[in-house]
Each structure stands twice: as C-alpha cells, then as structure tokens.
Structure 1
Amino acid sequence: MGHILTPEEKANIQIALAETFVDNEIDYASIAERIRGYDLKTVEDILYTEVAPVCFGNLEVPTPPVWEGFKNDWLLGAIEEELKARERSSFRRTFDKLKVAWLRYSYGYIWKEIMEFYNLKK
C-alpha cells in the first residue's frame, strides 16, 4: 500500500500543479521537484481530476485573467467545492468523467512536460 497523502501534502501538490494553468512561462522543473517522492499516478490523477477542472478555463479565454498564479485559498476552496459537487450528484460524477477524459486529452502535454523534467533528475 502506498503513502496516504496528508491534507497539507495534497494541498501543496494541488498548488504546484495549478501553476501549469497560468498565462506565463511555466517552471516545469520546479513543479517536478515539488511532486518528487509522491506516487506519480496519484499526482497525475490530482492534476486531471481536481486541479484541471477548476483551472483549465484560464487557458481557454483569449486574455486569461490569471497570469502570475492562483490565490492558494481560492484554489483550494474551489477544488473542495468541485469535489463536493461531484460527491453529491450522480449526474455530476458522470459528466465529470467525460470532462476529465477531455482534460486529459486536451492538456495531456502538461503531464508530459512535468515528467520530462522529473525524469531528468532520476
């Protein structure tokens, strides 16, 4: 059985991964270093099932409002609300499965970039 993330560890991972959705140069090396030591499948799932559903809209508009970084309190609260909504509704869970599949396809390059830098330091 793998390491179970503490709430603080999970929040730190979510905050690091959210940086990939800003309209600025992304420091993939830093993000890769911040997720080092955690189960990569778990981190990838956090990226696409928790962070991306909340943050992807920033990259979908012509002039993204967030270019330096998401405010941590807002980000963590929005993720929590997203997860609660999913938990409360079977329709939402079904819809979100499709949404997550689309996010993995549309933003698959993010995980590839992170892994490229992650593997450089192995």
Structure 2
Amino acid sequence: MEHLITSKERSDIRWALSDAFVDNEVDYAAIAREIEKFDPETIEEILFSEVAPVCHTNLESTLPAIWSCFNKEELESDIKHMLSLRKNSSIRKMFDHLLIKWLRYRYKYIWVEIANNLKK
C-alpha cells in the first residue's frame, strides 16, 4: 500500500524539488536523499505538475532571479495559487496540461538525475 503524503510532506517535497531550478550547481543526490522515502511516480508527478510550472521560468531567464534557493513560503503560495486556478478554470487546466507535457520534455534530465540518485 502506498504511503499517503501529508500536506507538510508534500510541501517538503516541493521545496526539495525546487532546488533543481536554481541558477547554480544542482546537488541531485541531496534532492534524492530528501525525497527517497516516497513513491518515485508520485515524486515525478509533483515535479512536473506542481513544481516545474512555477519554477521553470527561473532557468529560462537570461538573468535568473533565484540562484541559491526559492523562498519556501512563496513557493508554496505560488503552487497553491496555480493549482487553484487550474481547478477552477477549464481553459487554465487545458493550458497547464500542454505546459506539463512540454516541461516533461524540456526538463526530463532533471528527473533522470534525481531518479539515478534514488536508492534502489
């Protein structure tokens, strides 16, 4: 039976995964250590459907604003706001569906690096 993730655990997972989107050398092993007790499929889904849609623009900026770490409270607030918009708007839901597909393609390397560092 899969472990149900509490809201605090989900927040901690999001925080750990956001480190992959900073403009600095990414420690994928450290990210993997933070999330290794959770189901990899669930982690991958959180990465691409919750964290990447909020954080990806930092890596795409000419001069990224975030180079060491995201603010945890702002990150959580931004993700919750995005999820609320997605839930309440069919247009936003369709847009996000396409965005997530693109993010899975564009940032596949992030998941590959994290997954390679997870304990087998």
* TM-score, normalisation: structure 1: 0.96
Show the counterpart of 1:75: 75
CA RMSD of aligned residues (A): 0.8
Number of residue pairs the alignment of both structures matches: 120
The aligned runs of 1:33-48 (5 Å cut-off) are 33-48=33-48
Show the counterpart of 2:117: 117
SS for the counterpart of 1:8 is helix
Q: Deviations over 1:60-106 (max 9, x none)?
A: 11110100100000000000000000000011111111000000000
* TM-score, normalisation: structure 2: 0.97
| Structure 1 residue runs without a partner (length 5+) | none
| Structure 2 residue runs without a partner (length 5+) | none
Show the counterpart of 1:104: 104
Cα separation, 1, equivalents of 2:4 and 2:81? 22
Cα separation, 2, equivalents of 1:95 and 1:65? 25
Show the counterpart of 2:28: 28
Does residue 1:65 correspond to 2:65, yes or no? yes
Show the counterpart of 1:84: 84
Point out 4+ residue stretches in structure 1 off by more than 6 angstroms.
Answer: none
Cα separation, 1, equivalents of 2:115 and 2:44? 10
